[in-house]
């Protein structure tokens, strides 16, 4: 199954184009190191949550937007090999010296996919982060697999569900803190790729009314799950870069 590094990044809204350029410059270097696909997506429809949400996850300030990003690999071994090449390359340090965001509040981690259905490449991404008890990993995977088929039926291009595999605790922010994880819980980092926001919005109306959709009651605490919609800025697999004025939700 595919392996992912997932990122949540706070970026000043005024730095949207600078972030897009930064990502564009990094993409060929990362591809050379072994990253099979890099997707960067910009906040479009990110709701505020009572307990958790994307903005709380990275202590975002009012002038910042959220970037939902992932690197894709065929396996963890490939991820580890790519990271080793990155760490030994002085060019990576040079490119990372002047970032258009506060890297101290960026959160990241390594995730093993448990569901990967469809084919990506759309212009809009739903990102979801969920606290999952370690002893319910298999139950979560079964539930996610059933729900994925419904998403695909209503027009999703790809559904990916992953569970934490190499997720560290950070000094300022991290995935565990983002979902207020309890002892014995891991984190699911998941995403749904759509052709565009309009098709995603239409699909969600039907999905929410579909009796086949199974809630997570008894498997995870939905009150600490959070999600949001993001416009794709860059997809290295398609060499797509969108550095336009920010979209409104």
**Which three-class secondary structure state does DSSP give residue 229?**
strand
Mean pLDDT for 220-236 is 96
Mean pLDDT taken over the chain: 93
DSSP assignment letter at 112: E
How high is the pLDDT of residue 241?
53
How high is the pLDDT of residue 235?
96
Mean pLDDT for 159-182 is 97
Domains of the chain, with CATH numbers?
Answer: 3-241 (3.30.70.100)
Specify burial of residue 63 (Cβ count, 10 A radius: 0-12, 13-18, 19+): exposed
Taken in order 214, 220, 224, 230, the sign of the CA dihedral is negative
The CA-based dihedral angle spanning residues 70, 76, 82, 87, taken in that order and rounded to the nearest 10 degrees: 90
How far is 192 from 74, CA to CA, in rounded Å? Answer: 18
How far is 183 from 115, CA to CA, in rounded Å? Answer: 25
CB atoms within 10 A of CB 17: 14
User: Which of 30-39, 52-61, 95-104 shows the lowest mean pLDDT across its residues?
Assistant: 95-104
How far is 28 from 34, CA to CA, in rounded Å? Answer: 10
**What's this model's pTM, rounded to 2 decimal places?**
0.93
Task: Give the Å distances, CA to CA, from 168 to 155, 174, 188, 221.
Answer: 35, 7, 14, 21
More confident residue, 216 or 172: 172
User: Which of 38-42, 152-156, 195-199, 234-238 shows the lowest mean pLDDT across its residues?
Assistant: 234-238
How high is the pLDDT of residue 242?
57
Instruction: Give percent above pLDDT 70 in the chain.
Output: 94
How high is the pLDDT of residue 214?
67
How high is the pLDDT of residue 217?
64
**Per-residue pLDDT tens digits for 86-115:** 999 988 888 778 899 999 999 999 999 999
Mean pLDDT for 112-119 is 97
More confident residue, 179 or 245: 179
How high is the pLDDT of residue 249?
40
**Per-residue pLDDT tens digits for 182-226:** 999 999 999 999 999 999 999 999 999 998 886 656 899 999 999
Confidence of residue 12 (pLDDT cuts 50, 70, 90): very high
User: Which of 7-11, 26-30, 59-63 shows the lowest mean pLDDT across its residues?
Assistant: 26-30
Q: Is residue 158 predicted with pLDDT exceeding 80?
A: yes
Q: What residue ranges in 143-211 does DSSP mark as E strands?
A: 158-166, 185-194
**Per-residue pLDDT tens digits for 236-246:** 998 655 555 44
Of the candidates 116, 93, 126, the residue with the CA atom closest to the CA atom of residue 26: 93
Mean pLDDT for 35-48 is 97
């Amino acid at each position: 199954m595919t392996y992912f590094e997932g990122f949540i990044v706070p970026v000043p809204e005024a730095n949207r184009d600078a972030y897009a350029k930064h990502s564009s410059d990094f993409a060929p270097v990362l591809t050379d190191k072994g990253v099979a696909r890099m997707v960067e997506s910009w906040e479009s429809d990110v709701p505020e949550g009572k307990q958790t949400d994307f903005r709380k996850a990275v202590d975002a300030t009012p002038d910042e937007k959220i970037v939902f990003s992932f690197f894709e690999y065929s396996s963890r071994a490939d991820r580890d090999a790519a990271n080793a090449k990155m760490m030994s390359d002085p060019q990576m340090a040079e490119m990372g010296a002047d970032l258009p965001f506060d890297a101290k509040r960026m959160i990241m981690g390594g995730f093993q996919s448990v569901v990967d259905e469809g084919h990506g490449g759309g212009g809009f991404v739903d990102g979801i982060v969920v606290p999952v008890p370690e002893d319910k990993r298999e139950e979560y995977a079964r539930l996610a697999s059933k729900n994925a088929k419904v998403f695909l039926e209503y027009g999703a291009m790809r559904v990916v569900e992953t569970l934490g595999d190499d997720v560290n605790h950070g000094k300022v922010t991290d995935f565990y803190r983002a979902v207020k994880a309890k002892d014995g819980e891991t984190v699911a980092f998941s995403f749904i790729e759509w052709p565009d926001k309009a098709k995603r919005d239409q699909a969600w109306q039907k999905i929410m009314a579909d009796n086949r959709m199974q809630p997570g009651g008894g498997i995870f605490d939905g009150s600490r799950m959070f999600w949001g919609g993001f416009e794709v800025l860059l997809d290295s697999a398609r060499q797509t870069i969108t550095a336009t004025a920010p979209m409104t939700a």
